[in-house]
Amino acid sequence: MTPQAKAVPGARLLNPTDHTLIMIDFQSQMAFATKSIDASLLRTNAALVANSAAGFGVSTILTTVAEKSFSGPMFSEVTDPFPGKRLLDRTSMNTWEDAPVIAEVNALGKSRIVLAGLWTSVCIVGPALSALEQGFEVFVITDACGDVSNEAHERAVTRMVQAGAQPMTSLQYLLELQRDWARGETYEMTTGVARKFGGAYGLGVTYAKTMFGASEGH
């Protein structure tokens, strides 16, 4: 029997209200040893994710490890979009083993978890595998993660995908939340975030708007 197409989004796509974003250990000490992605690109991608989440009102948790004693402050690119937001500091490498973080996850009450942070093979694998085992649907923004080597990052991503996690990118995250250029209430915010943090795509948006006054979907 031929399936009947419908002009509706698939249930597997993310929307701003169906998930909790957890941004993990974007801190100086962790970044120093990150070699799988250039530090400036990592900061840009982290900013893209944080600004996307803040702009769409996504339930977001920011967590650090040993902030005062060892790992240092969280990237301002991650904290600036969430002024006044409390950072949940941990001792555990696995965020999912930290009681205050889990209390916040349960209070937010979302069945989908989106992860980004440092390092992929430790601080992302831990909560990804733990959340999957407890019945959550897990997404990992792989270009907003990094590790001590390409091998470490890639093996971690493979391990999570094999366990059922769904990989995505930072720009994909932004555009999946917008998904329709006719959504005027978030159009300017989305294109603004893309122009500032979206690399070559953002340059293209700037060019089109400056040269032609272009506006997608209008």
**Residues belonging to the active site:** 123
pLDDT at residue number 215: 65
**For each of the chain's 218 residues, which pLDDT tens digit applies?**
999 999 999 999 999 999 999 999 999 989 999 999 999 999 999 999 999 999 999 999 999 997 777 788 999 999 999 999 999 999 999 999 999 999 999 999 999 999 999 999 999 999 999 999 999 999 999 999 999 999 999 999 999 999 999 999 999 999 999 999 999 999 999 999 999 999 888 888 877 777 776 666 55
Instruction: Find the helix packing angle between 184-197 and 170-178, rounded to 10°.
Output: 170
Torsion of CA 200, 201, 207, 208, to 10 degrees: 160
pLDDT at site 166: 98
Q: What is the pLDDT, as a whole number, of residue 126?
A: 98
Q: What are the boundaries of each domain within the chain?
A: 19-179, 183-218
Does the domain at 19-179 match CATH 2.120.10.10? Answer given as: no
**Tell me, what's the pLDDT at 205?**
82
- Are 116 and 46 contacting, i.e. CB atoms less than 8 angstroms apart? yes
Report the C-alpha gap between 54 and 116 in whole angstroms. 15
pTM for this model (two decimals)? 0.94
